[in-house]
Every structure is written in C-alpha cells, then in structure tokens.
C-alpha cells in the first residue's frame, strides 16, 4: 500500500490489516454502545449492531468510482496481484476492532456487558470500502467466518458475475447495489473503470435468483440523478428476484461532498414514496423503515426477515 494512501486512511480512523484489508467502526456500533440505538440492519434483519465487524478485504480495489461514494478515491486499483490469507485477515480484523473500540470501556455511558460482547463480534459486514469480489479468496474468507459461527453480509456492485456465480460457500446475505435504472445514468453516476460494467451487473442480477442464500438489491438513491425511474428499477428487481429490496438515500458525507451537493440527499419522505411505488410495481411488501437512516425495505416474504428464520 502506498504510504500516502495509508496516511489518508489512518487519519480517517481506518485500521489497516495486512496488505489490502481494513477495518473501521461503524457509526451505529458506537450509537449502540453509548445510546442503545441500533442500525437498520438490526431493526430489519436481527443482527446485533454492537457485535458487527465492518471490514473489507479490498480497501483500495474497486471497479467503479461512484460519485456518491463517501470513500477517498485517489488511488483506486482494479485487481490484487498478491493477497493475504483469509484466516490472517479475519484474526487481524477482530484485533483491529477491539483496539478501535477500547476507549468505550471507560465511558460511563457504555453498557459494560454490551462492550464485552462487542469485543467478540458475531457478524461480519464485508462492505466497508472497495469491491470485495476482487479478493480471489472471498469464498474461503466467508467459510472461515462461518466456521467461527459468524454471520456474513457481502455488499457487491455486481461487476464480477463470475465471482458471484461461483461463491461457495455463499454469505449469509448477499447484496448487489443497483444505483442506476439504465446504462446512461450508470456510466455518469457510477463512473465504471471496467469495460461493460452495466452488462456485467445485469448478468449478476440474472444469477441472483439461483443462489441458495438470502439476497438483497440495494438502490442507493441520489436526488436529481436516479430517482423517478421506478418502472426501470422494477424490471431489474424482478429479473433478480431478491428476498429484499432496500431503498436507501444517498447521504451527504465523506468525500462525496466534493462531488455532490446537500440537495442530492433525498428526504425520508421521498424515499418512502419511491419504495411505495416500487412495491406496487413488483408485488413486494413495504416491510419496515428507519427514518434516521432514510431507508425503506421491501420484502418478498416479511416473515423471513430475521436471519435466524
């Protein structure tokens, strides 16, 4: 990793793991420890926010330079020429998480039992930065997590369908982010740096319904860019047949503020209207919402939302 990149990431409170992985504590982990406020994934799916390890095996490797992305994008690489082993990445990621949250132990607002649980994460969100399917041993990493009785959520941009179609084992829940209703908007908003990105995403969507795991489509919605195309999104969603569809507002945070404006962040009311229209077009039920995260989830079967069901 280039020293200038490492310096930038560490200044943003990332812990670098090995040659290409990283950990950063989620805002909602802190909220859960201090104020007992969970993230929307706990509300929707039943994971425990304070026991969630937010990490990535590809901290600087991605296939897109999305305008709405909050991460630093100055050194993006498209592949890994050499890579660390899954066991090493998980072990060192847990160590990094413990170090990052160590200061909460002395905070009188922090629930002590919850803090001890947080030091023993049981959920891995493989979604912090970059595109995780670039890591060649992603399936092996998922397997290592599962053998430690940890659930796994993988968030992919869908541009590597060959990896998605061959993941074995599969994560507990696999997301594909669909942030554009058509190729024209995709090229402008997601700024792909690989050839045929839109076609590859559509190939991944075609694979999704055949996978024997929980699946989700995430629509990251940016006002004045990709809202108002519910019919087109419905076509893509029905092609993929996911278990869940998340309609999530773009948040005006991080480095995205250099590329976006505050007016690009939709209100929760606008997200809810989008979700309700999409529900009518797809037949999916509006299952839940979390206003402070500006997100609404649609479910094909609401009774199966919790991960232990």
Q: Is residue 89 part of a domain?
A: yes
DSSP for 159-214 reads: --HHHHTT-SSPPSEEEEE---SSHHHHHHHT-B-STTHHHHHHHHHHHHTT-SSE
Q: What pLDDT does 81 receive? A: 85
Task: Band the pLDDT of 61: cuts 50, 70, 90.
Answer: very high
What is the tens place of the pLDDT at every residue in 106-160? 899 998 999 999 999 999 999 998 999 999 999 999 999 999 999 999 999 999 9
If one counts every other C-beta atom within 10 angstroms of the C-beta of residue 184, the result is: 10
Q: Is residue 37 part of a domain?
A: yes
Residues 95 and 80 sit within 8 Å (Cβ to Cβ):
no
DSSP 19: T
Q: Is residue 309 part of a domain?
A: no
**What's the farthest any 2 CA atoms get from each other in the chain?**
53
Q: Is the pLDDT of residue 309 over 80?
A: no
Q: What pLDDT does 215 receive? A: 98
Q: Is the pLDDT of residue 75 over 80?
A: no
The number of folded domains in the chain is: 1
CA distance 35 to 48: 14
Q: Is residue 252 part of a domain?
A: yes
CA distance 178 to 110: 37
Output the domain CATH number for residue 239: 3.20.20.70
Helix (H, G, I), strand (E, B) or coil at 100: helix
CA distance 65 to 73: 7
The strand pairing partners of 288, in sequence order, are 297
Q: Is residue 119 part of a domain?
A: yes
Helix (H, G, I), strand (E, B) or coil at 294: coil
User: Tokens standing for 223?
Assistant: 């006002």
How far, in Å, are 12, 145, 181 from residue 177 at the CA level? 24, 23, 11
Residues 137 and 56 sit within 8 Å (Cβ to Cβ):
no
Q: What pLDDT does 1 receive? A: 76
Task: Band the pLDDT of 282: cuts 50, 70, 90.
Answer: very high
* pTM (predicted TM-score): 0.95
Domain containing 123 equals 3-304
Q: Is residue 137 part of a domain?
A: yes
Q: What pLDDT does 305 receive? A: 94
Residues 49 and 26 sit within 8 Å (Cβ to Cβ):
yes
Q: What pLDDT does 9 receive? A: 87
Percent of the chain with pLDDT over 70: 99
CA distance 97 to 117: 12
Q: What pLDDT does 54 receive? A: 97
User: Would you give the distance in Å from CA 30 to the centre of its chain?
Assistant: 18
Mean pLDDT of the chain: 95
Task: Band the pLDDT of 10: cuts 50, 70, 90.
Answer: confident
């Amino acid at each position: 990793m280039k020293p200038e990149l490492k310096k930038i990431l560490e200044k943003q409170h990332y812990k670098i793991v090995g040659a290409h992985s990283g950990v950063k504590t989620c805002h909602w982990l802190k909220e859960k420890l201090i104020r007992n406020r969970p993230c929307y994934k706990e509300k929707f799916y039943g994971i425990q926010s304070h026991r969630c390890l937010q990490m990535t095996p590809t901290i600087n490797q991605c296939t897109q330079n999305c305008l709405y992305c909050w991460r630093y994008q100055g050194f993006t690489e498209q592949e890994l020429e050499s890579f660390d082993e899954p066991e090493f990445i998980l072990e060192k990621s847990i160590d990094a998480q413990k170090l990052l949250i160590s200061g909460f132990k002395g905070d009188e607002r922090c629930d002590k039992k919850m803090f001890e649980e947080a030091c023993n994460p049981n959920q891995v969100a493989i979604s912090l930065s970059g595109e995780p399917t670039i890591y060649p041993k992603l399936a092996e990493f998922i397997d290592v997590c599962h053998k430690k009785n940890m659930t796994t959520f993988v968030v992919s941009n869908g541009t590597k369908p060959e990896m998605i179609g061959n993941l074995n084992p599969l994560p507990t829940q696999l997301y594909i982010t669909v942030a554009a209703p058509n190729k024209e908007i995709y090229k402008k908003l997601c700024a792909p740096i690989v050839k045929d990105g839109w076609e590859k995403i559509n190939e991944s969507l075609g694979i999704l319904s055949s996978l024997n795991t929980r699946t989700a489509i995430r629509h990251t919605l940016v006002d004045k860019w990709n809202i108002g195309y519910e019919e087109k999104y419905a076509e893509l969603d029905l092609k993929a047949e996911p278990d869940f569809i998340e309609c999530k507002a773009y948040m005006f945070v991080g480095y995205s503020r250099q590329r976006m404006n505050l007016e690009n962040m939709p209100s929760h009311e606008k997200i809810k209207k989008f979700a309700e229209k999409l529900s009518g077009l797809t037949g999916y039920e509006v299952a839940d919402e979390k206003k402070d995260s500006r997100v609404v989830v649609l479910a094909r079967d609401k009774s199966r939302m919790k991960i232990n069901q």
